[in-house]
Structure 1
Amino acid sequence: MIRRVTSPYAQDGFRVGFDWGPVGAEVVAGNIVAVVDVLSFTTAVTVAADLGIEVYPYRWRDETAVAYAKQYDAHLAVGRSEAGPGEVSLSPVTIRQAEGIQRLVLPSPNGSTICQQLSDSGATVLAVSLRNRLAAAEWVNAHLSAHPNLNVVAIAAGERWKDGSLRPAVEDLWGAGGFLAALDVDGFSPEAKAAAAAYKDADLPTHLYDCAGGRELTQYGFPEDVAIAAELDSSQSVPVLRDGRMTAST
Protein backbone atom coordinates (compact mmCIF):
# COMPACT_ATOMS: atom_id res chain seq x y z
CA MET A 1 0.00 0.00 0.00
CA ILE A 2 1.39 3.40 -1.00
CA ARG A 3 0.91 6.07 1.61
CA ARG A 4 0.22 9.52 0.21
CA VAL A 5 2.45 12.15 1.77
CA THR A 6 0.96 15.64 1.76
CA SER A 7 2.56 18.96 2.53
CA PRO A 8 2.38 19.89 6.21
CA TYR A 9 1.38 23.37 5.04
CA ALA A 10 -1.69 22.21 3.08
CA GLN A 11 -4.07 22.10 6.08
CA ASP A 12 -5.37 18.75 4.84
CA GLY A 13 -8.09 17.12 6.92
CA PHE A 14 -9.81 20.40 7.78
CA ARG A 15 -12.97 21.67 6.16
CA VAL A 16 -12.08 25.33 6.66
CA GLY A 17 -8.62 26.76 6.00
CA PHE A 18 -6.77 30.06 5.88
CA ASP A 19 -3.51 31.31 4.43
CA TRP A 20 -1.73 34.27 2.85
CA GLY A 21 -0.91 35.50 -0.64
CA PRO A 22 -0.36 33.76 -3.97
CA VAL A 23 1.80 31.01 -2.47
CA GLY A 24 -0.75 30.26 0.23
CA ALA A 25 -3.46 30.09 -2.43
CA GLU A 26 -1.37 27.52 -4.30
CA VAL A 27 -0.54 25.36 -1.27
CA VAL A 28 -3.84 25.43 0.64
CA ALA A 29 -6.43 24.22 -1.85
CA GLY A 30 -10.17 24.63 -1.46
CA ASN A 31 -13.28 23.77 -3.44
CA ILE A 32 -14.40 27.30 -2.55
CA VAL A 33 -11.76 30.01 -2.14
CA ALA A 34 -12.57 33.42 -0.69
CA VAL A 35 -9.95 35.96 -1.78
CA VAL A 36 -9.71 38.94 0.58
CA ASP A 37 -7.99 42.22 -0.34
CA VAL A 38 -9.77 44.86 1.73
CA LEU A 39 -7.65 47.85 0.65
CA SER A 40 -8.74 47.72 -2.02
CA PHE A 41 -9.31 45.09 -4.73
CA THR A 42 -12.12 43.00 -3.22
CA THR A 43 -13.79 46.08 -1.76
CA ALA A 44 -13.71 47.61 -5.25
CA VAL A 45 -15.19 44.42 -6.71
CA THR A 46 -18.10 44.46 -4.26
CA VAL A 47 -18.81 48.11 -5.09
CA ALA A 48 -18.78 47.21 -8.79
CA ALA A 49 -21.04 44.19 -8.20
CA ASP A 50 -23.52 46.37 -6.31
CA LEU A 51 -23.77 48.47 -9.49
CA GLY A 52 -24.02 45.50 -11.85
CA ILE A 53 -20.51 46.00 -13.27
CA GLU A 54 -18.58 42.88 -14.27
CA VAL A 55 -14.93 42.89 -13.13
CA TYR A 56 -12.13 41.15 -15.01
CA PRO A 57 -9.17 40.59 -12.65
CA TYR A 58 -5.75 41.26 -14.17
CA ARG A 59 -2.30 41.44 -12.65
CA TRP A 60 -0.60 44.47 -14.22
CA ARG A 61 -1.73 47.58 -16.03
CA ASP A 62 0.49 47.33 -19.12
CA GLU A 63 0.14 46.77 -22.85
CA THR A 64 -1.15 43.25 -22.26
CA ALA A 65 -3.90 44.71 -20.05
CA VAL A 66 -4.86 47.09 -22.85
CA ALA A 67 -5.22 44.16 -25.25
CA TYR A 68 -7.11 42.16 -22.62
CA ALA A 69 -9.62 44.96 -22.12
CA LYS A 70 -10.15 45.25 -25.88
CA GLN A 71 -10.75 41.51 -26.10
CA TYR A 72 -13.74 41.79 -23.76
CA ASP A 73 -14.87 45.26 -24.80
CA ALA A 74 -14.17 46.36 -21.24
CA HIS A 75 -13.01 49.58 -19.64
CA LEU A 76 -9.43 49.41 -18.31
CA ALA A 77 -8.94 51.00 -14.88
CA VAL A 78 -6.08 53.48 -14.56
CA GLY A 79 -3.66 53.68 -11.65
CA ARG A 80 -5.16 55.11 -8.48
CA SER A 81 -2.85 58.13 -8.48
CA GLU A 82 -3.40 58.68 -12.23
CA ALA A 83 -7.18 58.94 -12.15
CA GLY A 84 -8.57 62.27 -13.28
CA PRO A 85 -12.17 63.46 -13.15
CA GLY A 86 -14.50 60.79 -14.46
CA GLU A 87 -11.79 58.11 -14.69
CA VAL A 88 -12.01 54.75 -12.93
CA SER A 89 -9.20 53.19 -10.90
CA LEU A 90 -8.72 50.66 -8.11
CA SER A 91 -10.23 53.33 -5.84
CA PRO A 92 -13.76 52.21 -4.86
CA VAL A 93 -14.81 55.87 -4.87
CA THR A 94 -14.17 56.14 -8.61
CA ILE A 95 -16.14 52.97 -9.29
CA ARG A 96 -19.08 54.21 -7.26
CA GLN A 97 -19.06 57.43 -9.29
CA ALA A 98 -18.64 55.69 -12.68
CA GLU A 99 -21.22 56.10 -15.40
CA GLY A 100 -21.86 53.91 -18.42
CA ILE A 101 -19.43 51.11 -17.50
CA GLN A 102 -20.62 47.51 -17.79
CA ARG A 103 -17.30 45.65 -17.83
CA LEU A 104 -14.12 46.69 -16.02
CA VAL A 105 -10.60 45.26 -16.17
CA LEU A 106 -9.19 45.94 -12.72
CA PRO A 107 -5.44 45.31 -12.36
CA SER A 108 -4.02 44.70 -8.89
CA PRO A 109 -0.75 43.00 -7.86
CA ASN A 110 -2.38 41.31 -4.87
CA GLY A 111 -6.07 40.31 -4.80
CA SER A 112 -6.58 40.52 -8.55
CA THR A 113 -3.43 38.49 -9.16
CA ILE A 114 -4.62 35.73 -6.83
CA CYS A 115 -8.06 35.61 -8.46
CA GLN A 116 -6.50 35.31 -11.90
CA GLN A 117 -4.10 32.67 -10.60
CA LEU A 118 -7.02 30.58 -9.33
CA SER A 119 -9.16 31.01 -12.44
CA ASP A 120 -8.06 27.66 -13.90
CA SER A 121 -7.80 25.78 -10.60
CA GLY A 122 -11.31 24.35 -10.65
CA ALA A 123 -12.17 26.15 -7.41
CA THR A 124 -15.13 28.46 -7.00
CA VAL A 125 -13.49 31.82 -6.33
CA LEU A 126 -15.25 34.60 -4.40
CA ALA A 127 -14.26 38.21 -3.77
CA VAL A 128 -14.76 38.93 -0.07
CA SER A 129 -14.33 42.16 1.87
CA LEU A 130 -15.61 43.61 5.11
CA ARG A 131 -18.53 44.99 3.11
CA ASN A 132 -19.85 41.58 2.05
CA ARG A 133 -18.23 39.12 4.46
CA LEU A 134 -21.60 38.15 5.97
CA ALA A 135 -23.39 37.76 2.62
CA ALA A 136 -20.50 35.68 1.29
CA ALA A 137 -20.52 33.46 4.38
CA GLU A 138 -24.27 32.87 4.04
CA TRP A 139 -23.77 31.94 0.38
CA VAL A 140 -20.99 29.51 1.31
CA ASN A 141 -22.98 28.06 4.23
CA ALA A 142 -25.73 27.09 1.81
CA HIS A 143 -23.26 25.38 -0.52
CA LEU A 144 -21.46 23.55 2.29
CA SER A 145 -24.75 22.34 3.71
CA ALA A 146 -25.86 21.01 0.32
CA HIS A 147 -22.47 19.44 -0.44
CA PRO A 148 -20.86 17.92 2.69
CA ASN A 149 -17.68 16.99 0.82
CA LEU A 150 -16.79 20.57 -0.09
CA ASN A 151 -14.21 22.59 1.81
CA VAL A 152 -13.54 26.33 1.91
CA VAL A 153 -10.35 28.36 2.21
CA ALA A 154 -9.94 32.09 2.88
CA ILE A 155 -6.85 33.68 1.35
CA ALA A 156 -5.75 37.03 2.73
CA ALA A 157 -3.99 38.77 -0.15
CA GLY A 158 -1.65 40.95 1.88
CA GLU A 159 0.56 43.68 0.45
CA ARG A 160 4.16 43.87 -0.74
CA TRP A 161 7.28 45.37 0.77
CA LYS A 162 9.62 47.24 -1.58
CA ASP A 163 11.72 44.08 -1.99
CA GLY A 164 8.67 42.20 -3.27
CA SER A 165 8.17 40.06 -0.18
CA LEU A 166 4.74 39.58 1.37
CA ARG A 167 3.61 42.14 3.95
CA PRO A 168 0.78 40.56 5.94
CA ALA A 169 -1.91 43.26 6.02
CA VAL A 170 -4.05 43.13 9.13
CA GLU A 171 -7.11 44.49 7.28
CA ASP A 172 -7.06 41.34 5.12
CA LEU A 173 -6.76 39.20 8.24
CA TRP A 174 -9.88 40.91 9.60
CA GLY A 175 -11.74 40.54 6.32
CA ALA A 176 -10.92 36.85 6.05
CA GLY A 177 -11.57 36.31 9.74
CA GLY A 178 -14.93 38.06 9.56
CA PHE A 179 -15.97 35.79 6.72
CA LEU A 180 -14.73 32.67 8.52
CA ALA A 181 -16.36 33.68 11.82
CA ALA A 182 -19.75 33.72 10.06
CA LEU A 183 -19.42 30.18 8.68
CA ASP A 184 -21.74 27.61 10.24
CA VAL A 185 -19.54 24.55 9.87
CA ASP A 186 -17.11 22.50 11.94
CA GLY A 187 -13.57 21.56 11.03
CA PHE A 188 -11.57 24.79 11.24
CA SER A 189 -7.82 24.53 10.88
CA PRO A 190 -5.78 26.28 13.61
CA GLU A 191 -4.94 28.96 11.05
CA ALA A 192 -8.62 29.54 10.28
CA LYS A 193 -9.49 29.67 13.98
CA ALA A 194 -6.77 32.28 14.53
CA ALA A 195 -8.11 34.46 11.70
CA ALA A 196 -11.67 34.29 13.04
CA ALA A 197 -10.43 35.19 16.52
CA ALA A 198 -8.56 38.20 15.13
CA TYR A 199 -11.78 39.53 13.62
CA LYS A 200 -13.73 39.04 16.83
CA ASP A 201 -11.05 40.96 18.76
CA ALA A 202 -10.90 43.90 16.31
CA ASP A 203 -12.55 47.25 16.99
CA LEU A 204 -13.99 48.00 13.57
CA PRO A 205 -14.17 50.37 11.84
CA THR A 206 -11.79 52.29 14.16
CA HIS A 207 -8.92 49.85 13.72
CA LEU A 208 -9.27 49.97 9.93
CA TYR A 209 -8.49 53.68 9.92
CA ASP A 210 -5.63 53.22 12.39
CA CYS A 211 -3.89 50.22 10.81
CA ALA A 212 -0.92 50.66 8.48
CA GLY A 213 -2.97 50.14 5.32
CA GLY A 214 -5.63 52.63 6.37
CA ARG A 215 -3.03 55.21 7.35
CA GLU A 216 -1.20 54.68 4.08
CA LEU A 217 -4.27 55.35 1.92
CA THR A 218 -5.23 58.35 4.05
CA GLN A 219 -1.72 59.75 3.79
CA TYR A 220 -1.83 59.34 0.00
CA GLY A 221 -5.09 61.27 -0.16
CA PHE A 222 -7.67 58.46 -0.34
CA PRO A 223 -9.47 58.49 3.03
CA GLU A 224 -12.81 57.86 1.28
CA ASP A 225 -11.51 54.50 0.06
CA VAL A 226 -10.94 53.50 3.68
CA ALA A 227 -14.42 54.72 4.57
CA ILE A 228 -15.99 52.56 1.86
CA ALA A 229 -13.93 49.54 2.94
CA ALA A 230 -15.24 50.13 6.47
CA GLU A 231 -18.90 49.76 5.41
CA LEU A 232 -19.23 46.56 7.40
CA ASP A 233 -21.88 44.13 6.08
CA SER A 234 -23.37 46.81 3.81
CA SER A 235 -23.29 44.74 0.61
CA GLN A 236 -25.37 41.71 -0.29
CA SER A 237 -23.31 41.05 -3.43
CA VAL A 238 -21.28 37.85 -3.64
CA PRO A 239 -18.96 38.25 -6.65
CA VAL A 240 -18.01 34.88 -8.13
CA LEU A 241 -15.30 34.35 -10.74
CA ARG A 242 -16.71 32.72 -13.87
CA ASP A 243 -15.04 32.63 -17.28
CA GLY A 244 -12.48 35.20 -16.21
CA ARG A 245 -14.93 37.74 -14.83
CA MET A 246 -16.42 38.39 -11.42
CA THR A 247 -20.17 38.88 -11.31
CA ALA A 248 -22.65 38.95 -8.45
CA SER A 249 -24.00 35.47 -7.81
CA THR A 250 -27.74 34.96 -7.85
Structure 2
Amino acid sequence: MFLVGLTGGIASGKTSVAKILKDELGCTVIDADEVAREVVLPGTQGWKKIQKNFGNDVFQPNGELNREKLGQIIFNDAEKRKILNSITHPEIYKAIAWKVMKNFLLGQHFIVLDLPLLFESKKMVPFMSYTVVVNCSEEQQLQRLMKRNNYSREAAEIRIRAQMPLSEKCRLCTHIIDNTNDIESTYHQTVKFHKQLSQSLLYWKVRVLLAVCAGSVIGLTIYVVKLIFR
Protein backbone atom coordinates (compact mmCIF):
# COMPACT_ATOMS: atom_id res chain seq x y z
CA MET A 1 0.00 0.00 0.00
CA PHE A 2 1.15 3.55 -0.69
CA LEU A 3 -0.07 6.95 0.44
CA VAL A 4 -1.36 9.83 -1.66
CA GLY A 5 -1.44 13.34 -0.20
CA LEU A 6 -4.33 15.53 -1.39
CA THR A 7 -4.14 19.23 -0.60
CA GLY A 8 -4.99 22.70 -1.87
CA GLY A 9 -5.99 26.05 -0.47
CA ILE A 10 -9.13 27.32 1.19
CA ALA A 11 -11.97 27.32 -1.40
CA SER A 12 -9.72 25.89 -4.15
CA GLY A 13 -11.93 22.82 -4.66
CA LYS A 14 -10.05 20.17 -2.66
CA THR A 15 -13.24 18.96 -0.98
CA SER A 16 -14.91 18.43 -4.36
CA VAL A 17 -11.99 16.32 -5.59
CA ALA A 18 -11.95 14.30 -2.35
CA LYS A 19 -15.68 13.64 -2.80
CA ILE A 20 -15.16 12.42 -6.38
CA LEU A 21 -12.36 10.09 -5.26
CA LYS A 22 -14.40 8.70 -2.39
CA ASP A 23 -17.99 8.63 -3.64
CA GLU A 24 -17.52 8.22 -7.39
CA LEU A 25 -14.30 6.22 -7.63
CA GLY A 26 -14.45 4.22 -4.38
CA CYS A 27 -11.15 5.38 -2.89
CA THR A 28 -10.44 5.26 0.81
CA VAL A 29 -10.01 8.90 1.83
CA ILE A 30 -8.84 9.90 5.31
CA ASP A 31 -9.98 13.47 5.96
CA ALA A 32 -7.64 15.30 8.36
CA ASP A 33 -10.37 17.84 9.19
CA GLU A 34 -12.71 15.01 10.15
CA VAL A 35 -10.00 13.41 12.27
CA ALA A 36 -9.36 16.82 13.89
CA ARG A 37 -13.00 16.89 15.00
CA GLU A 38 -12.80 13.33 16.33
CA VAL A 39 -9.74 13.96 18.54
CA VAL A 40 -11.48 16.79 20.44
CA LEU A 41 -14.79 15.06 21.12
CA PRO A 42 -15.93 15.29 24.76
CA GLY A 43 -13.83 13.09 27.02
CA THR A 44 -10.89 12.60 24.66
CA GLN A 45 -7.34 13.53 25.61
CA GLY A 46 -7.42 16.42 23.18
CA TRP A 47 -10.63 17.74 24.72
CA LYS A 48 -9.20 17.54 28.24
CA LYS A 49 -6.01 19.37 27.26
CA ILE A 50 -7.96 22.15 25.56
CA GLN A 51 -10.12 22.54 28.65
CA LYS A 52 -7.00 22.76 30.81
CA ASN A 53 -5.32 25.39 28.62
CA PHE A 54 -8.29 27.45 27.41
CA GLY A 55 -10.91 26.99 30.13
CA ASN A 56 -14.61 26.17 29.87
CA ASP A 57 -15.49 29.27 27.86
CA VAL A 58 -14.53 27.56 24.59
CA PHE A 59 -17.09 24.79 25.08
CA GLN A 60 -20.81 24.65 24.36
CA PRO A 61 -23.31 23.74 27.12
CA ASN A 62 -23.39 20.12 25.87
CA GLY A 63 -19.61 19.83 26.32
CA GLU A 64 -18.72 20.01 22.64
CA LEU A 65 -15.99 22.36 21.48
CA ASN A 66 -17.16 25.80 20.37
CA ARG A 67 -14.99 25.99 17.26
CA GLU A 68 -16.04 29.49 16.32
CA LYS A 69 -15.12 30.90 19.71
CA LEU A 70 -11.83 29.02 19.89
CA GLY A 71 -11.08 30.11 16.33
CA GLN A 72 -11.54 33.75 17.25
CA ILE A 73 -9.08 33.36 20.12
CA ILE A 74 -6.29 31.66 18.19
CA PHE A 75 -6.77 33.75 15.03
CA ASN A 76 -5.69 36.85 16.89
CA ASP A 77 -3.10 35.29 19.19
CA ALA A 78 -0.14 33.45 17.65
CA GLU A 79 1.03 32.08 21.00
CA LYS A 80 -2.33 30.51 21.79
CA ARG A 81 -2.47 29.14 18.26
CA LYS A 82 0.84 27.38 18.93
CA ILE A 83 -0.55 25.94 22.16
CA LEU A 84 -3.63 24.59 20.39
CA ASN A 85 -1.51 23.08 17.60
CA SER A 86 0.77 21.42 20.17
CA ILE A 87 -2.35 19.79 21.65
CA THR A 88 -4.21 18.73 18.54
CA HIS A 89 -1.50 17.91 15.99
CA PRO A 90 0.03 14.92 17.86
CA GLU A 91 -3.46 13.50 18.46
CA ILE A 92 -4.38 13.99 14.79
CA TYR A 93 -1.20 12.32 13.51
CA LYS A 94 -1.67 9.41 15.91
CA ALA A 95 -5.29 8.89 14.81
CA ILE A 96 -4.30 9.06 11.14
CA ALA A 97 -1.52 6.50 11.73
CA TRP A 98 -4.04 4.06 13.23
CA LYS A 99 -6.39 4.52 10.28
CA VAL A 100 -3.53 3.97 7.84
CA MET A 101 -2.46 0.79 9.63
CA LYS A 102 -6.03 -0.51 9.60
CA ASN A 103 -6.30 0.00 5.86
CA PHE A 104 -2.89 -1.59 5.30
CA LEU A 105 -4.05 -4.72 7.12
CA LEU A 106 -7.17 -4.74 4.95
CA GLY A 107 -4.91 -4.99 1.91
CA GLN A 108 -5.68 -1.64 0.31
CA HIS A 109 -3.76 -0.78 -2.87
CA PHE A 110 -3.45 2.87 -1.81
CA ILE A 111 -5.25 5.41 0.35
CA VAL A 112 -5.70 9.14 -0.02
CA LEU A 113 -4.92 11.49 2.86
CA ASP A 114 -6.87 14.75 2.62
CA LEU A 115 -4.41 17.12 4.32
CA PRO A 116 -5.09 20.88 4.06
CA LEU A 117 -1.71 21.74 5.66
CA LEU A 118 0.37 19.01 3.99
CA PHE A 119 3.13 21.35 2.81
CA GLU A 120 2.81 23.84 5.66
CA SER A 121 3.51 21.27 8.38
CA LYS A 122 5.87 19.13 6.18
CA LYS A 123 5.64 16.26 8.67
CA MET A 124 3.60 13.95 6.45
CA VAL A 125 5.28 14.78 3.12
CA PRO A 126 8.08 12.15 3.43
CA PHE A 127 5.46 9.40 3.74
CA MET A 128 3.60 10.36 0.54
CA SER A 129 4.34 8.53 -2.70
CA TYR A 130 2.31 11.10 -4.63
CA THR A 131 1.12 14.59 -3.73
CA VAL A 132 -1.67 16.35 -5.63
CA VAL A 133 -2.72 19.99 -5.35
CA VAL A 134 -6.17 21.21 -6.37
CA ASN A 135 -5.45 24.56 -7.97
CA CYS A 136 -7.40 27.61 -9.13
CA SER A 137 -6.63 31.29 -9.75
CA GLU A 138 -6.23 33.68 -6.82
CA GLU A 139 -9.31 35.66 -7.87
CA GLN A 140 -11.41 32.48 -8.16
CA GLN A 141 -10.28 31.38 -4.72
CA LEU A 142 -11.20 34.77 -3.30
CA GLN A 143 -14.62 34.94 -4.97
CA ARG A 144 -15.49 31.36 -4.00
CA LEU A 145 -14.56 31.95 -0.37
CA MET A 146 -16.55 35.19 -0.20
CA LYS A 147 -19.60 33.45 -1.66
CA ARG A 148 -19.29 30.26 0.38
CA ASN A 149 -18.71 31.85 3.79
CA ASN A 150 -20.37 35.20 3.20
CA TYR A 151 -17.07 36.96 3.96
CA SER A 152 -16.15 40.49 3.00
CA ARG A 153 -13.29 40.77 0.52
CA GLU A 154 -10.94 41.87 3.30
CA ALA A 155 -11.90 38.96 5.58
CA ALA A 156 -11.45 36.47 2.74
CA GLU A 157 -8.04 37.91 1.79
CA ILE A 158 -6.82 37.62 5.39
CA ARG A 159 -7.71 33.93 5.51
CA ILE A 160 -6.14 33.19 2.14
CA ARG A 161 -2.92 35.01 3.07
CA ALA A 162 -2.72 32.94 6.28
CA GLN A 163 -2.02 29.88 4.11
CA MET A 164 0.84 28.97 1.82
CA PRO A 165 0.09 30.34 -1.68
CA LEU A 166 -1.33 27.81 -4.13
CA SER A 167 1.42 28.70 -6.61
CA GLU A 168 4.05 27.54 -4.11
CA LYS A 169 2.17 24.33 -3.34
CA CYS A 170 2.00 23.60 -7.06
CA ARG A 171 5.80 23.79 -7.25
CA LEU A 172 6.13 21.26 -4.44
CA CYS A 173 3.64 18.60 -5.54
CA THR A 174 3.89 15.71 -8.01
CA HIS A 175 0.47 16.29 -9.62
CA ILE A 176 -1.93 19.21 -10.14
CA ILE A 177 -5.68 19.10 -10.70
CA ASP A 178 -6.75 22.33 -12.37
CA ASN A 179 -10.06 23.52 -10.90
CA THR A 180 -10.28 26.79 -12.82
CA ASN A 181 -12.98 25.49 -15.16
CA ASP A 182 -16.27 23.61 -14.61
CA ILE A 183 -16.77 20.58 -12.37
CA GLU A 184 -16.86 18.27 -15.40
CA SER A 185 -13.29 19.22 -16.27
CA THR A 186 -12.21 18.65 -12.67
CA TYR A 187 -13.99 15.29 -12.66
CA HIS A 188 -12.18 14.06 -15.79
CA GLN A 189 -8.79 15.14 -14.42
CA THR A 190 -9.54 13.33 -11.15
CA VAL A 191 -10.54 10.15 -13.01
CA LYS A 192 -7.31 10.31 -15.01
CA PHE A 193 -5.25 10.75 -11.84
CA HIS A 194 -7.10 7.87 -10.18
CA LYS A 195 -6.27 5.64 -13.17
CA GLN A 196 -2.57 6.45 -12.71
CA LEU A 197 -2.77 5.50 -9.04
CA SER A 198 -4.63 2.27 -9.78
CA GLN A 199 -2.01 1.23 -12.34
CA SER A 200 0.95 2.12 -10.13
CA LEU A 201 3.14 -0.75 -8.99
CA LEU A 202 4.43 1.14 -5.97
CA TYR A 203 2.39 -0.96 -3.56
CA TRP A 204 4.31 -4.06 -4.66
CA LYS A 205 7.61 -2.38 -3.78
CA VAL A 206 6.25 -1.59 -0.33
CA ARG A 207 5.03 -5.15 0.13
CA VAL A 208 8.38 -6.61 -0.96
CA LEU A 209 10.25 -4.28 1.39
CA LEU A 210 7.99 -5.26 4.30
CA ALA A 211 8.39 -8.94 3.42
CA VAL A 212 12.19 -8.59 3.44
CA CYS A 213 12.07 -6.78 6.80
CA ALA A 214 9.74 -9.40 8.26
CA GLY A 215 11.98 -12.17 6.95
CA SER A 216 15.03 -10.54 8.52
CA VAL A 217 13.29 -10.23 11.88
CA ILE A 218 12.15 -13.87 11.77
CA GLY A 219 15.62 -15.02 10.74
CA LEU A 220 17.27 -13.05 13.53
CA THR A 221 14.77 -14.42 16.06
CA ILE A 222 15.48 -18.02 15.01
CA TYR A 223 19.23 -17.38 15.21
CA VAL A 224 18.93 -15.92 18.74
CA VAL A 225 16.74 -18.84 19.88
CA LYS A 226 19.29 -21.33 18.56
CA LEU A 227 22.10 -19.54 20.42
CA ILE A 228 20.11 -19.67 23.66
CA PHE A 229 19.14 -23.34 23.47
CA ARG A 230 22.20 -24.87 21.76
Q: Give the TM bin, normalised by the shorter chain.
A: 0.3 to 0.5
Higher Cα Rg, which structure:
2
Q: In proportion to residue count, which structure has more strand?
A: 1
Q: In proportion to residue count, which structure has more helix?
A: 2
Normalised TM-score (structure 1): 0.32
Normalised TM-score (structure 2): 0.34
